[in-house]
Amino acid sequence: MVQKIQPAHINIHQSSDNGRCVLPIVPQTLSDPLSQYALQLLHMRPSESPVDDVLREMEKLAARDGIPIIGPLEGAMIQMLIQLYQTPPRRVLDIGTAIGYSAIWLARGLPPESQITSIEIDPERAEMAQHFISQAGYQDRVRVLVGDVFELLPKIENQFDVILQDVIKHIYFGADSQLSLKLLDLCVEYLVAGGVLLGDNVFCMGEVLHEPSEQVPEQVIGIQAYNDRVASHPQLQSIAIPIRDGLWVSRKRANH
């Protein structure tokens, strides 16, 4: 367990009506000046329309309806990371499709022969994802599976070269802090040796800095446990990149 720094600005949101922990949806881009500057620089690059148009439309929809998406800075980061491979990854897994935003960023970083499998538990979101993925022209490369990742992933036979794990959030795992660890085990099992595991929301909007205490909700404890396990995992070499809400970039060691 890493030593926690107790900052003055963080707070845990407790809803008054049912007493359950309510943590906010992480914005697509944080409002700090440097993130805003990085975003402006990103928007200066030549447009890859119509994909950029589709992404902008999705960003607006997500902001309006409170759908959590990784946002443009992290999306571009993920695209860049998978483009850095000398031999492009052939099999990519996107856990937590939502409306297909991260799947589109992944797809635009890959050649047409690569295949993305994306898993989403909410059928309405999965349907919207199919729509946007088709609009972006990636319907032949992205397969959206509807269901619970804990049920669907064990039915898949092959491993993946890259996995984006975007359901580690407190809001999906409720009060069971162990579920994030179970999903980590599953991801490591399904990653080829030398493969890359990406994970969103390392920071949980700063909540991870809380010292363990009875006031810290189980959801936050789950993220802290996930982070500690990723950081010290014998099969992974990992770094937490402080972009937006924090992005885990892990490589599965080749000797495992």
Ligand X SMILES: C[S@@+](CC[C@H](N)C(=O)[O-])C[C@H]1O[C@@H](n2cnc3c(N)ncnc32)[C@H](O)[C@@H]1O
Where along the sequence are the contacts to ligand X (CB under 6 A)? 68-70, 96, 98, 101-102, 119-122, 125, 148-150, 166-167, 169, 172
Q: Quote the least distance from Cβ 92 to ligand X, whole Å.
A: 12
Q: Quote the least distance from Cβ 87 to ligand X, whole Å.
A: 25
What is the rounded distance in angstroms from the CA atom of residue 160 to the CA atom of residue 147?
19
Q: Quote the least distance from Cβ 59 to ligand X, whole Å.
A: 10
What is the rounded distance in angstroms from the CA atom of residue 239 to the CA atom of residue 227?
10
Decide whether 140 or 176 has the Cβ nearer to ligand X: 176
Backbone φ, ψ for residue 111 (5° rounding): -75, 165
What is the rounded distance in angstroms from the CA atom of residue 36 to the CA atom of residue 212?
32
* 172, burial (CB in 10 Å: exposed 0-12, middle 13-18, buried 19+): middle
Alpha helices in the chain, H assignment, sequence order: 33-43, 51-65, 71-83, 101-108, 123-135, 149-152, 170-173, 178-189, 218-232
Decide whether 96 or 109 has the Cβ nearer to ligand X: 96
Amino acid at 87: T
Q: Quote the least distance from Cβ 134 to ligand X, whole Å.
A: 16
Residue 104, classed as helix, strand or coil, is: helix
Q: Quote the least distance from Cβ 151 to ligand X, whole Å.
A: 8
